[in-house]
Amino acid sequence: MERHRPGLAPTIRSGGGLVLVPAGFLAVFFAWPVAQLLLRGFSDGGFQAFADTLGSSTIRSAAWFTLWQAVASTLLTLIVAAPLTAVLANVSFRGRRLVNALVTVPFVLPTVVVAGAFLATSERVGLTSGPFALRRSVFSIIVAHAFFNVAVVVRTVGSYWSQLSRDDEHASRLLGQSSLSTFFQITLRRLRPSILAAASLVFFFTFTSFGVVLILGGARQRTIETEIFRFAISRTDFATAAVLSVVQLLAVVLLVVINLKLRGRLVSDRLGQRLRPCQTTRGLLATWAVILLTLGLLAIPVASLVEQSLRTGDGYGLANYAALGDRPPFLTVPPGRAIINSLAFGAVAAVIATVAGGWASFGIVYGPRRWSRLLDTAYLLPLGTSAVTLGFGVLITFDTSWYDIRQSWIIIPLTQALIGVPFVTRAVVPVLRAIDPKLREAAASMGASPQKIRRDIDLPIARRALTIGAGFAFAISLGEFGATSFVGRRPDFMTVPLAISRLLSQPGDTIQGQAMALSVILMILTTTVLMAVDRADGSSIL
């Protein structure tokens, strides 16, 4: 390997000033609110407050439900995703990339849209009561979580499986083992790290689920997330909410550490080209049966949502969409205005996330190595933090003297940008690291300063990655519900997810029709943005 000429690398690598601005942004808008939340949790009664809160039968019940519904949701997701994962990991066929994209659509939908889709399905198929109802039941929550997370298993396990060599399996078959025995003794054993990694990620998403539980679970099904919201907003009991947030944060940190360790094991020393076309008609029919059945099941809630949005009293039409210009008495703005708010907040959040994430990416690549590694890890923390915890932390932090921004519109895109920033760094950092060092060294040898090298060489190359990151941040902002439920309390700042939640909680065919129409619009917006990003990136959304 050719070594770089001495003296050039230190010239290109900048000092600590490059990491100060992104580190300051993260410290003010993430670390400070989380620290305030921790202090509030321990200061209001100390450990006695923890004992009293955790000793409550209501809280213990919510914690137990949070745990076991996440386990059940994870198991159902693994079962539903297994057949399609096997097909996409082993079979080469025309349209494979399209199937991968279609199975990802449910994952990128905002949680309020998924909840609305299941409410629409319950009305369409008549499952509105009983243990298997698709609304206000445990069953509806678990099924919605499986619908939402199938793509996590398909992408995580499938991508790993598709790279594994078939040599060990061929050897097992030559020794007389059956296909079933070979799968359980060889294939499944090799897939165990990817299955555990996918399962831990699904468990994390379902453990911290907010919108799905709040809308589909009703008042009886409560998790730690919904209890934080209830105590903080409905009962203004900040002390109990802070204690629950601390517990939730500790659990989330543990889950993230476990997932990172499991994902670190996704390395195989026996790689090969696994994908092969079907050799028999029977195999081809089985392949397409699995694809059509899985996609059909995933399409039912989406199709029901669209159908319900078009249903009127005397048939079908666009009356529900036209009614979005009218303001129901329980909404502070018309639904149409909420769309404008979401687009405006999303655009600002995307700009903030792109600037902060782009600057952080350059700091990670060019800053002092010790600080850049720390910054790289720190900017992933908002991605692993509960949105409800983040929103509550921001709410109780920026409420004093001159820095009270709770009544300012900027608090919403700032909070949403924190969740979008990790996607920007994940898109940009690999691109910057992949740039040929010789380009920078040549520019440095001709007297170019580090700033000029970044502006004239790195920035043009990274522009596409920055655009992709901005697209992710914009789409995430459009559908963000958990944190916005805390910081978007001003009447004129209502966003589409907040409006959908309010509409879904009210009776009446006209109101429900508006909720479905608004959900379809939000689904189209987020799906269009993320599918465009996926196409531009040429790789997985997940």
What are the pLDDT tens digits along the chain (542 aa)?
Answer: 334 433 334 444 554 556 677 778 888 888 888 888 777 766 665 566 667 777 778 888 888 888 999 999 999 999 999 999 988 888 888 888 788 878 877 887 788 888 888 877 776 665 555 555 556 678 888 988 999 899 889 988 888 888 777 777 777 777 777 777 777 777 788 888 888 888 988 998 888 888 888 888 776 788 888 888 788 777 777 777 777 877 777 777 787 777 767 766 666 555 556 777 777 888 788 888 989 998 888 888 888 888 888 887 777 888 888 888 878 877 788 888 888 989 999 999 999 999 888 888 887 877 776 666 677 677 777 776 777 778 878 877 877 656 667 777 888 888 888 888 888 888 888 888 777 777 777 777 777 676 777 777 777 778 888 888 888 889 888 888 878 877 776 778 888 888 888 887 777 777 888 888 888 888 888 888 877 776 655 444 45
Residue 540 has a pLDDT of 47
Q: How far is CA 342 from CA 127, 467, 479, in A?
A: 32, 19, 8
Assess contact for 487 and 394: CB atoms under 8 A.
yes
Per the rule left: phi > 0, alpha: psi between -120 and 50, beta: everything else, 95 is left
CATH code 2.40.50.100 for 1-43+324-537: no
User: What residues are paired with 311 via a beta bridge?
Assistant: 316
Residue 372 has a pLDDT of 64
Residue 184 has a pLDDT of 77
Domain with CATH 1.10.3720.10 in the chain: 1-43+324-537, 47-309
- The domain made up of 47-309 has a fold known as MetI-like fold (1.10.3720)
Q: Output helix, strand, coil percentages for the chain, rounded to the nearest 5.
A: 75, 0, 20
> Which 3 state secondary structure label does DSSP give 507?
coil
CA atoms within 13 A on the CB side of 261: 6
Q: How far is CA 453 from CA 366, 433, 447, 461, in A?
A: 11, 14, 10, 11
Q: pTM for this structure?
A: 0.77
Closest of 443, 440, 429 to residue 363, by C-alpha? 429
